[in-house]
């Protein structure tokens, strides 16, 4: 019998994004209407979310153009927390050497078409110390992005707010080289991975990302319910 795990963070008024917190207004109440209905305002890149190529590539795929068959499939979940956890130096690029050590210690191999989910030991910090989570995280190095492309990974996710360091967004026009490198190759990105990820470290799983099917000019990304099955 399959066991499912949820690798998503909660999505509510406490879900921070650099553009602010989501806001919700109740429009119908059970006492008066016999139902409940709320309206929400939020960034589409809030909480656990997926980036479509359109997010950072001028003519990239929009969210509705991404086939679910491109998203769902085998994934390896690699524990890198000993190198990039909350007690280590922040704002660094993940070294290929550390990824390969993490794979070897778990007896995992990245195969063509796999998704790669990296656990940096920061997912709990998203809940407990949001400011630090967003301000001094570590993330992919450009060398690791090249490694990901060379190994024909279909999707990369991690428990960090961005695949580029915060310094890339100080002044527009922004230069997020990791985003552009990956997304221009249709290697999809999931940021703010969390939930039950610690239960799956060192495992190969079936990853099931289920993003909102946003269409048109707004379809640069969306919150995603990220599920995994052993």
**Model pLDDT for residues 69-127, shown as the tens digit of each residue:** 999 999 999 999 999 999 998 889 999 999 999 999 999 999 999 999 999 999 999 99
Q: What is the rounded CA–CA span in Å between residue 22 and residue 20?
A: 7
Domain count, the chain: 1
pLDDT at 171: 87
Burial class of 15 by CB neighbour count within 10 A (0 to 12, 13 to 18, 19+): buried
Give the dihedral sign, CA 207/56/152/214.
positive
Q: Which residues neighbour 224 within 8 Å (Cβ) at sequence distance 6 or greater? A: 8, 48, 49, 50, 190, 209, 210, 211, 212
Q: Which domain holds residue 48?
A: 4-229
Q: Is the N-terminal amide bond of 173 cis, ω within 30° of 0? A: yes
The pTM assigned to this predicted structure is 0.96
pLDDT for residue 1 is more than 70: no
The 10s digit of each residue's pLDDT in 165-224 is 998 998 888 889 999 999 999 999 999 999 999 999 999 999 999 999 999 999 999 999
CATH value at residue 44: 3.50.30.50
pLDDT at 55: 97
């Amino acid at each position: 019998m399959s066991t499912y795990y949820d690798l998503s963070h909660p999505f509510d008024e406490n879900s921070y994004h650099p553009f602010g917190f989501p806001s919700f207004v109740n429009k119908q109440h059970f006492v008066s209407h016999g139902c409940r209905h709320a309206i929400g305002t939020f960034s589409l890149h809030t909480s656990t979310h997926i980036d479509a190529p359109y997010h950072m590539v001028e003519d990239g795929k929009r969210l509705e153009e991404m086939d679910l068959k491109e998203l769902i499939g085998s994934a390896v979940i690699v524990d890198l927390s000993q190198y990039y956890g909350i007690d280590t130096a922040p704002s660094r690029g993940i070294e290929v050497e550390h990824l390969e050590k993490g794979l070897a210690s778990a007896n995992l191999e990245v195969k063509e078409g796999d998704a790669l989910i990296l656990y940096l030991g920061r997912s709990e910090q998203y809940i407990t110390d949001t400011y630090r989570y967003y301000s001094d995280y570590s993330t992919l190095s450009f060398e690791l992005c090249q490694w990901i492309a060379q190994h024909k990974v279909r999707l990369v996710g991690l428990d960090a707010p961005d695949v580029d360091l915060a310094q890339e967004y100080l002044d527009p026009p922004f230069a997020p080289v990791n985003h552009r490198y990956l997304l221009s190759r249709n290697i999809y990105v999931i940021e703010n991975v969390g939930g039950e990820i610690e239960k799956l470290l060192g495992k190969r799983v079936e990853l099931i990302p289920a993003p909102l099917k946003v269409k048109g000019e707004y379809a640069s990304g969306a919150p995603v319910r990220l599920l995994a099955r052993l």
